[in-house]
Amino acid sequence: MKHFFIITLLFLALHGNTQNNGSKTTETGRPFILGVIEELKSDVLGEKRVLNIYLPEGYQKADTTRYPVVYLLDGSANEDFIYIAGLFQFNSFLWVGRVPQSIVVGIATVDRRRDFTFPTTIEKDRKKYQTAGRSANFISFIEKELQPFIERKFNVNSSKTIIGQSLGGLLATEILFKKPQLFNQYIIVSPSLWWDNGSLLAGEPLLLNKSFSLRTKIYVGVGKEGLVPGDNPRVMEVDANLLADKLKGTKSKAVSVWFDYLPNEDHGTILHQAVSNALRLLNPALSEKKN
């Protein structure tokens, strides 16, 4: 059901060097190890899902130290996993001190449109994206299978962060609106709120209520990105602003919201800089303590 593998990010090829004296030597490289790969069989999704997992330096299962967990959507090795894990490693260095040492769980992608979108009322999109609209299953997978698996397998504490960009940002926003208790930190970057003509923005999430008491930090970042896909004239910066304004209207004292406009970044370049900014903004106490 679950298999344990080593992630090999860099495997140096064997090569021979011919010396002036005609002799030949062979150098053997060693794998560069970043973390582990787990394979989780999901009954909810009816498939196996690959998890790329970064463990902090010195992590030992037998230790009593417990770590925050960061869940990264689009977490394949050839997507966002490597450099997001690097950001958490760098920002947890003692001389940087912006985040505590953390476990990063990259959820490798299978079908983004299927997993990250809810059903749409737009007939054209239903025909164009025939697998779309099953985010409820993916959210159930996160809640009932993924989080319990990580909590059984690794030394974790109660801190849970989700990072999502584009359609992943749409999913992170949907979770925030419908099941905010699944995470206590949300890093939402360039969310595809254009889906279903922005219907998610019309929702009234529980965290807007005065009675909402779960301490929740939310970062919303967007670049200079312009018009979004589809026939309806929506602009990604505008939708991100609308989302941030809606969240800032909460009556709950437990919710904190940061909005970050990055005009020098576009949809393809924004995630690295946005997450770097988010780690600084969401954890001011650590930065102040370091100074």
274 close to 264: Cβ distance less than 8 angstroms: no
E-assigned strands of the chain? Answer: 4-10, 15-18, 24-27, 32-42, 47-54, 67-72, 103-107, 156-165, 185-189, 216-223, 255-262
The correct CATH number of 38-290 out of 3.40.50.10300, 3.40.50.300, 3.40.50.1820, 3.40.50.720 is 3.40.50.1820
Render pLDDT for 85-124 as a digit per residue (tens, 0 to 9): 999 999 999 999 999 999 999 999 999 999 999 999 999 9
pTM confidence score: 0.89
Give yes or no for residue 136 having a pLDDT over 70.
Answer: yes
Task: Kindly indicate the confidence band of residue 284, based on its pLDDT and cuts at 50, 70 and 90.
Answer: confident
pLDDT exceeds 90 at position 18: no
What confidence tens digit (pLDDT) does each residue in 43-53 have? Answer: 999 999 999 99
Write down the pLDDT at residue 291.
54
Which tens digits make up the pLDDT trace of 242-264? 999 999 999 999 999 999 999 99
Mean residue pLDDT of the chain comes to 90
In angstroms, what is the C-alpha Rg of the chain? 21
N-to-C CA span, the chain: 46
Tell me how far apart the alpha carbons of residues 257 and 220 are, in angstroms, rounded to a whole number: 8
Q: Are 3 and 14 in contact (CB under 8 A)?
A: no
How far is the CA of 169 from the CAs of 30, 135, 179, 197, 209, in angstroms? 37, 12, 15, 15, 22
Phi, psi (degrees; rounded to nearest 5) at 252: -85, 135
pLDDT of 230 strictly over 80: no
Q: Are 39 and 50 in contact (CB under 8 A)?
A: yes
User: Are the C-beta atoms of 69 and 105 separated by less than 8 Å?
Assistant: yes
Q: What percent of the chain has pLDDT over 70?
A: 89
